[in-house]
Structure 1
Amino acid sequence: MSMAPRLDLRQSQSLVMTPQLRQAIKLLQSSNLEVTAFVEEELERNPLLERDERVLAGPDDGHRVDTAPLVAEGADSHAAAVSETLPAEAAAPLDADFENVYDQGGGYESPYGKGGRADFGEELSGVDDLAAQGQTLREHLGEQARLTFESPRDRLIAAQILALVDAAGRLPVEDARLAAAMGCAVEVVAAVRHRMQRFDPVGMFCRNLSECLAVQLAEKNRLDPAMRALLDNLELLARRDRAGLMAVCGVDAEDLGDMIAEIRRLDPKPGASFDQQPAPALVPDVLMRRAPDGGWILELNPETLPRVLVNRGFHAKCQVGARSKDDKAFLAEKLQSANWLLKSLEQRANTILKVAGEIVRRQDGFFRHGVEYLRPLILRDVAEEVQMHESTVSRVTANKYIATPRGTFELKYFFTTAIAGTHGGESHSAEAVRHRIRGMIDQEDAEAVLSDDAIVERLRQEGVDIARRTVAKYREALRIPSSVQRKREKAVPA
């Protein structure tokens, strides 16, 4: 056996994650907001990229989906967005004459620029149309404290209490601890806090839920001994033990129902709704509409498509002026990065449209008849049909939304586990079964509350082979109490 060194030539295969491949995978699983932010960063880093501000052509026929096997027709809407030449329709003259063309030669210059209003209306808007900045909760309470307390001592205590209150309106610090920290009597702190509890919104600066509700009831002059006993036994109300509440409060069923209704009209967290910001609007990635012949038409939402172009003219000028090897390497790298970004965006759009079309084809019954007809679906079913890997389908459906005639849904909503049917029948979607359980409980009679075993028996009569623990799990996920708690709740009408 020779121990001398030698040279060997071997051939092997390995999977290498290039930066471009990682970028494509990242774009595929990102939401439209994340993609837009990424493209904005690339526009700042890459001088060869520029934003496409040309006017898009009118709506096309989109991607047609029939109930028959899916036939892809391409993402025409995205092709118009990323192509470097506009379609012929975009070059057609606009439907306008010279009378409504703005003359840029002098005249009034509005705050929106030389073109007048942003919507080209005749009436010009001013500062009065701007929305005023609303007060925060602390500013609102601080203004009331300044108007309520005159002495500097009370104002200082009120400011300290205001600084310690949480977002829900609770004050987690005891009066004695706050008095020791400020070097004053406990009675003084308690008196200031009790006056602040009547601030708007009423019920702030309380330590627990019972005190918060008691302050609101006292403001309405509804805090009688029976209501006080009810607030001292809120755990019985949480367990829906109406018989125990009637015994503790000394009232009959009708009075107890009125008391519970009164409590339900109160605000358990008076500070939570004051600074609440409106939820951001959800922008769907795919738009869906019904075709004239009964099928479905899908198209990508043009508002979520980043429109960028490669400025090849600027690249040609820079290449002529580039003299050093580093300059030429920099231009080549930026050109390759720009071309790869456009290719990744186009591939992302085509993949989203293809996967969404297959989901719509398989869940046609849901869009036509409702959630009862939602079919069980897994990633493998769609991946095999569109000839992609399951991980790719998972990335495509993450954080992507589709606007349908039945509302806007995340693409992952349509993937549900299958529940076997009885006697080897057709399987059922878990989401459809949950919807059926809720419908049964909503329609149950107060004299015959359905137990989990009764729900299992009814579902099996409808062809759903389900276990009792699965029904209990679905019921708890829907936040539906047990049959015992529902029977207590329906025994005395509120």
Structure 2
Amino acid sequence: MAVGPRLELRQGQALVMTPQLQQAIKLLQLSNLELLAYVEQELERNPLLERVDAEGGDADDGIEPFETGEADADGAPSRLDLASDSTADTARAALDAEGDNTFTNDSGYDAVAYDAGQDGTYISGRGGDPRFEDGESSFEQSLSEAKTLREYVQDQWQLMPANAGDRLIGAALIDALDDAGYITEPLADIAARLGVEEDEVEAVLLDLQTIEPVGLFARSLKECLALQLRDRNRLDPAMQAFLDNLELLAKRDIAGLMKLCGVDQEDIADMVKEIRALNPKPGLLFGGEPVQTLIPDVFVRRATDGGWAVELNSETLPRVLVNSRYYAKVNRSAPKNGTDKQTRSYLSECLNSANWLVKSLDQRAQTILKVASEIVRQQDGFLRHGVTHLKPLNLRAVAEAIEMHESTVSRVTSNKTMATPRGIFEMKYFFTASIAATDGGEAFSAESIRHRIKSLIDSERPDDILSDDKIVEILAGKGVDIARRTVAKYREAMNIPSSVERRRLKRAGLLEVG
């Protein structure tokens, strides 16, 4: 048989992920902070992409802002009515990995702006208050700020007697304070940096440890607690032994603590109460770094007709537009300045990229709103009555209800939060496993069962501790079909000791009695 080259025709099918589709899928799973950072990078890279101000853009630009569909003609936010199925279907499978994930270039996005909020707020460069546009400052700007931890300590240190060398060492120790009031840098390193002996640094440290509030300038939790107990004249040998073995308290080894401290169980309970009354982080009394507030992606509010209003948080949605006027201007000037083919190709690529980003942002917003609305529809009982009415829910149930792929729902619910009348929750929180009912009725959510177990344990008395078998019996009486090993698994996941250990700890006063 002769061997030689030949040609063959084969036909096949394959799913190809275009770069635009990959971008759209990537945007879906980004958190609001990651999305803002990504859009900032695109604004720096793409000259045809512009940011829209809070008023929706400059009217002189000739670019009309694009509405995402979350507000009606009157400007009111879209509302989810549990009695009807009127949720908009504008993002039908646009980001669905199993649907037609293709976009056309004739969709009319040549000069549009993405502005989901349209909240109308305006913030000027000097504070935005029109009453002070003449350059005068507001009353709030003239108020004095609260002293920081280092400023407060520095004021006290200046009043204490010390020579010039000690002043220098004290200033270095004050700079080494962390927000909790601890010295985490080794004294040897501070001494080497200042060119002094370590003993000199430790002597100054002892003086600084007398500064109010007591507990500052400690090098460990044990030293911080010891300083406060010494100030209260409660640092006796038994208490010192207790502090030296705090790890036994964390392990709940009460017998070991009693042996090392030479006291009985009642004394151990009193010592624990004294420790709890102390401040393990005295520096936090002066504040510290500002706490980063969790910003929800979706708001859920009660509607006037008894349903639920589901709104996207406009503050987390980037507002960008495509400046097609600039693109057209560059093209018109091409014959005059001799714009070459490479420049034209670059501008065309920037235009397509900007259009795709605007469309992807809009589809991301619509998809999040659609998934959130279905979650609210499914978890109506939780929103009205609490965690005990949380229903078992999985990604497939939501995906089938909104006719999207399960992977799309998974991406949407990743790194997203929802503000409800019962608090702010991650969207993943609403997806829990199911526990069967004893009568074959509606199943229970695993999260609601964990809540019931914790409530039962919190309310038990020292003389009536509930074993895992007893908890199974109580839950069975309420229609929950659950095994003992499942109860033990949930209890251990919540870091709750066994019944034998709880009985011993509650009798010793080391656990609060409900």
TM-score interval w.r.t. the shorter chain?
0.7 to 0.9
Q: Which moved more, 1:211-220 or 1:320-329?
A: 320-329
Q: Give the Cα–Cα distance (whole angstroms) in 2 for the partners of residues 220 and 310 of structure 1.
A: 67
Q: Tell me: CA distance 1:65–1:401, structure 2 relative to 1, closer, same or farther (3 Å).
A: farther
How much does 1:481 deviate? 2.8
Correspondence for 1:217:
229
Q: Tell me: CA distance 1:171–1:52, structure 2 relative to 1, closer, same or farther (3 Å).
A: closer
Q: Which moved more, 1:243-252 or 1:349-358?
A: 243-252
Q: Is the 8 A contact 2:179 2:289 kept in 1?
A: no
Q: Tell me: CA distance 1:83–1:142, structure 2 relative to 1, closer, same or farther (3 Å).
A: same
- Aligned partner of residue 12 in structure 1, secondary structure: coil
- What amino acid maps onto 2:235 in structure 1? L
How much does 1:182 deviate? 8.7
Q: Would you say 1:287 and 2:299 are equivalent positions?
A: yes
Correspondence for 2:355:
339
Correspondence for 2:94:
none
Q: Which moved more, 1:12-21 or 1:155-164?
A: 155-164
Aligned mate of 1:350, from 360, 366, 377? 366
Q: Give the Cα–Cα distance (whole angstroms) in 1 for the partners of residues 253 and 470 of structure 2.
A: 23
Q: Which moved more, 1:174-183 or 1:223-232?
A: 174-183
How much does 1:436 deviate? 0.6
How much does 1:439 deviate? 0.5
Q: Is the 8 A contact 1:63 1:74 kept in 2?
A: no
What does the per-residue CA deviation read over 1:65-106, in whole Å, with 9 as the maximum and x for residues that have no partner?
Answer: 4156x4423579xxxx9994999xx9xxx9xxxxxxxxxxxx
Aligned mate of 2:447, from 431, 437, 446? 431
Q: Which moved more, 1:254-263 or 1:479-488?
A: 254-263
- Aligned partner of residue 130 in structure 2, secondary structure: coil
Q: Tell me: CA distance 1:220–1:75, structure 2 relative to 1, closer, same or farther (3 Å).
A: farther
What does the per-residue CA deviation read over 1:267-312, in whole Å, with 9 as the maximum and x for residues that have no partner?
Answer: 2244566563232222222222223332222122222222222222
Q: Tell me: CA distance 1:339–1:195, structure 2 relative to 1, closer, same or farther (3 Å).
A: same
- Aligned partner of residue 35 in structure 2, secondary structure: helix
Q: Which moved more, 1:53-62 or 1:18-27?
A: 53-62
Q: Would you say 1:66 and 2:76 are equivalent positions?
A: no
What does the per-residue CA deviation read over 1:337-358, in whole Å, with 9 as the maximum and x for residues that have no partner?
Answer: 1211111111111111111111
Q: Is the 8 A contact 1:422 1:463 kept in 2?
A: yes
- Aligned partner of residue 309 in structure 1, secondary structure: strand
Report matched runs for 1:49-60 at 5 Å. Answer: 49-53=49-53, 55=55, 59-60=75-76
Correspondence for 2:432:
416
How much does 1:396 deviate? 0.4
Q: Would you say 1:383 and 2:391 are equivalent positions?
A: no
Q: Would you say 1:194 and 2:206 are equivalent positions?
A: yes
What does the per-residue CA deviation read over 1:406-429, in whole Å, with 9 as the maximum and x for residues that have no partner?
Answer: 222211110112223336443221
Q: Tell me: CA distance 1:194–1:470, structure 2 relative to 1, closer, same or farther (3 Å).
A: farther
How much does 1:472 deviate? 2.7
Q: Which moved more, 1:25-34 or 1:417-426?
A: 417-426
Q: Is the 8 A contact 2:111 2:323 kept in 1?
A: no
How much does 1:30 deviate? 0.8
Report matched runs for 1:6-45 at 5 Å. Answer: 6-45=6-45
- What amino acid maps onto 2:44 in structure 1? E
- Structure 2: 5+ residue runs without aligned partners? 57-72, 92-108
- What amino acid maps onto 2:465 in structure 1? V
Q: Is the 8 A contact 1:75 1:300 kept in 2?
A: no
Q: Give the Cα–Cα distance (whole angstroms) in 1 for the partners of residues 320 and 176 of structure 2.
A: 49
Q: Give the Cα–Cα distance (whole angstroms) in 1 for the partners of residues 325 and 188 of structure 2.
A: 75
Q: Tell me: CA distance 1:186–1:53, structure 2 relative to 1, closer, same or farther (3 Å).
A: closer
Correspondence for 1:47:
47
How much does 1:223 deviate? 2.8
CA RMSD after TM alignment: 4.0
Q: Give the Cα–Cα distance (whole angstroms) in 2 for the partners of residues 83 and 445 of structure 1.
A: 68
Q: Would you say 1:321 and 2:337 are equivalent positions?
A: no
Q: Would you say 1:363 and 2:373 are equivalent positions?
A: no
Q: Tell me: CA distance 1:228–1:175, structure 2 relative to 1, closer, same or farther (3 Å).
A: same
Correspondence for 2:505:
489
Q: Tell me: CA distance 1:426–1:197, structure 2 relative to 1, closer, same or farther (3 Å).
A: same
- Structure 1: 5+ residue runs without aligned partners? 95-110
Correspondence for 2:415:
399
Correspondence for 1:298:
310
- What amino acid maps onto 1:72 in structure 2? T
Q: Give the Cα–Cα distance (whole angstroms) in 2 for the partners of residues 34 and 439 of structure 1.
A: 38
What does the per-residue CA deviation read over 1:303-329, in whole Å, with 9 as the maximum and x for residues that have no partner?
Answer: 222222222222222221224322322
